[in-house]
Structure 1
Amino acid sequence: MDGTVTVIDKGAVRIHSYMAPDDSLNVTTHLVESPARVIAVDAQYSLAYADEVVAYAKGLSKPLDRLIVSHAHPDHFNGAARFGAPVYALAAVRDQIAAQGDGQDPHGAVIPAVDLTPSAEIVPGTEVIDGIPFVSEAHHGGEAADQLVIKLPEQGVLVAQDLVYHALHLFLGNNDITGWAKAVDDLAAQPAYDTVLGGHGLPAGPEVFDEMRRYLADADELLGDDGEAYKQAIVARYPAWGGTVLIDIGNQYLFGAPPA
């Protein structure tokens, strides 16, 4: 296996977090294993790594009940069809994905829009699955325009996806540092969650919120009108953090493609 799997035992629930390698942006898919089924959150960027997640899920010997897509960035939904399960998303996220049309695997393969677009809508609120409450919340602004957060209050698990990265540089292409900082503050104000699952990087604890606050404050200070200067400055402050390619991708959105 090329990806890294971290297993967290929460009694009635086990969390299997699959983090892709560096060449696929360290995207993290979470498999929530309940007594009778598996629920997947996010579908990977590379189809090959989506296949690894699905193979691992099959090894749990429980049906894959659904795939939940947290937001409309291709690194989180490209591999959706590989899961062979109903695909759920917030209505706004579903519409944003549909508007993008066909996708593309990072290795070049075209992915038809029908393989990407969620077919089932998530309405924010609480759904009890196998006796376990799953709380869905819609958040607006930050890393993406609209994002889904899932809470398992009885297990102390917060699935924050791309509102939280762990020890990886942030993608700032949505140009909303203020909104992102507010979202982090809102999540951090809920102390009942001792396990925080992000969309890039390994699982963390609530200390990750302070890490995110510091990084976002530094990014707000350093981000000017020169993407390369910003990259050099933020990497100097966080030299041990991975995912520098995420800075490059963000800079393309913020400043356009670099000159040839």
Structure 2
Amino acid sequence: MRGTVTIIDKGNVRVHSYTAPDTALNVTTQLIETPSRLIAVDGQVTVADADEVVEYAKGLGKPLDRLIITHAHPDHYQGAHRFDAPIHALAVTRDEMAARGDLKDPTGIPVPAAETAPTDLITPGTEVIDGVPFVFEAVSGGETTEQLLIRLPEHGVLVAQDLVYHHTHVFVGNNDVARWLDILQALSDPAYDTVLPGHGLPAGPDVFAEMAEYLQAAQELLGDDGQAYKQAIIERFPSYGSPFVIDIGNYYLFGTPF
């Protein structure tokens, strides 16, 4: 298996977190297993990793109810069409995905926009799926313009996705670090002992302080030279994975090719 699967048992809910390898940005797809079905969150950057998630999901012996796309960054939906399930997203995410048009995954496999387009729109609020309350919230700013946050309040699970990275270099290309720090402070809640990131392995509540430390360092180190910033942030966090994420952010900030 290319990726890493972490299983978290929460009684009548089990979370299977698939984290892609470092070369695929440590993107994490969450498979939330309820009593009789599976809900997937985010669809991977490469088709190969999406296929691996789908094959793993088949082994669980429950139908895949839906794939939820939390935001319109391609690394979270380029493999969405491989899940063969209804694709759910916020309306703003659907529109931003459509605006990006056809894409290719990092290996060059075509990703037609029509095949990854959301089929069902998420309205913020509570939806009970297979007896389990899912609370959907739209969060503006931070890593991107708008993204979906999912709470499982009865199980202490916060599906943060790209509001949180875990021991992986962070995309700051949206240039909205101050807002992101405010979001992290608001999300820190002892009622949620399991935090599921969009990049990296599942974490506990300590991840919010770790993320804040990284973002504060980004504020300090980020000037007008992307390569200097990359060198400095890697020196500050040498154990963090997927430094290519920094190159992607530098492209958005400075137009630096990658």
Q: TM-score, normalised by structure 2?
A: 0.98
Q: 1:13 corresponds to which residue?
A: 13
Q: Which amino acid aligns with 1:69?
A: I
Q: 1:60 corresponds to which residue?
A: 60
Does the CA-based 8 Å contact 2:226-2:256 persist in structure 1? Answer: no
List gaps (5 residues or longer) in structure 2.
none
Q: Is 1:141 aligned to 2:144, yes or no?
A: no
Q: Is 1:225 aligned to 2:219, yes or no?
A: no
Taking the TM superposition and a 5 Å limit, the aligned residue runs for 1:1-260 are 1-188=1-188, 190-258=189-257
Q: Please give the alpha-carbon distance, in whole angstroms, between the structure 2 residues aligned to 1:217 and 1:22.
A: 24
Give the superposition deviation at 1:186: 1.4
Segments of 4+ moved more than 3 angstroms: none
Q: Which moved more, 1:175-184 or 1:25-34?
A: 175-184
Q: Which amino acid aligns with 2:69?
A: V
Does the CA-based 8 Å contact 1:17-1:29 persist in structure 2? Answer: yes
1:196-226 per-residue CA deviation (whole Å, 9 max, x = no partner) reads 0000000000000000111111100110001
Q: Which amino acid aligns with 1:100?
A: R
Give the superposition deviation at 1:39: 0.2
Q: Secondary structure at the match of 2:169?
A: coil
Does the CA-based 8 Å contact 1:3-1:21 persist in structure 2? Answer: yes
1:94-149 per-residue CA deviation (whole Å, 9 max, x = no partner) reads 11001111011111122111111111000000011121100000000011111100
Q: Which amino acid aligns with 2:233?
A: I
Q: Please give the alpha-carbon distance, in whole angstroms, between the structure 1 residues aligned to 2:241 and 2:84.
A: 32
Does the CA-based 8 Å contact 2:23-2:242 persist in structure 1? Answer: no
Give the superposition deviation at 1:257: 2.3
Q: Which amino acid aligns with 1:231?
A: K
Q: Which amino acid aligns with 1:238?
A: F
Q: Which amino acid aligns with 2:95?
A: D
Q: Please give the alpha-carbon distance, in whole angstroms, between the structure 2 residues aligned to 1:85 and 1:220.
A: 40
Does the CA-based 8 Å contact 1:103-1:116 persist in structure 2? Answer: no
List gaps (5 residues or longer) in structure 1.
none
Q: Please give the alpha-carbon distance, in whole angstroms, between the structure 2 residues aligned to 1:72 and 1:179.
A: 19
Does the CA-based 8 Å contact 2:46-2:107 persist in structure 1? Answer: yes
Q: Please give the alpha-carbon distance, in whole angstroms, between the structure 1 residues aligned to 2:131 and 2:116.
A: 30
Q: Please give the alpha-carbon distance, in whole angstroms, between the structure 2 residues aligned to 1:222 and 1:107.
A: 32
Give the superposition deviation at 1:242: 1.0
1:27-79 per-residue CA deviation (whole Å, 9 max, x = no partner) reads 00000000000000000010010000000000000000000000000000111
Q: Which amino acid aligns with 2:223?
A: G
Give the superposition deviation at 1:191: 2.1
Identity %: 64
Q: Please give the alpha-carbon distance, in whole angstroms, between the structure 1 residues aligned to 2:63 and 2:117.
A: 21
Q: Please give the alpha-carbon distance, in whole angstroms, between the structure 2 residues aligned to 1:114 and 1:232.
A: 39
Q: Secondary structure at the match of 1:241?
A: coil
Give the superposition deviation at 1:180: 1.2
Q: Please give the alpha-carbon distance, in whole angstroms, between the structure 1 residues aligned to 2:80 and 2:255.
A: 29
Give the superposition deviation at 1:258: 4.7
Provide the aligned length of Structure 1 versus Structure 2: 258
Q: Which amino acid aligns with 1:210?
A: A
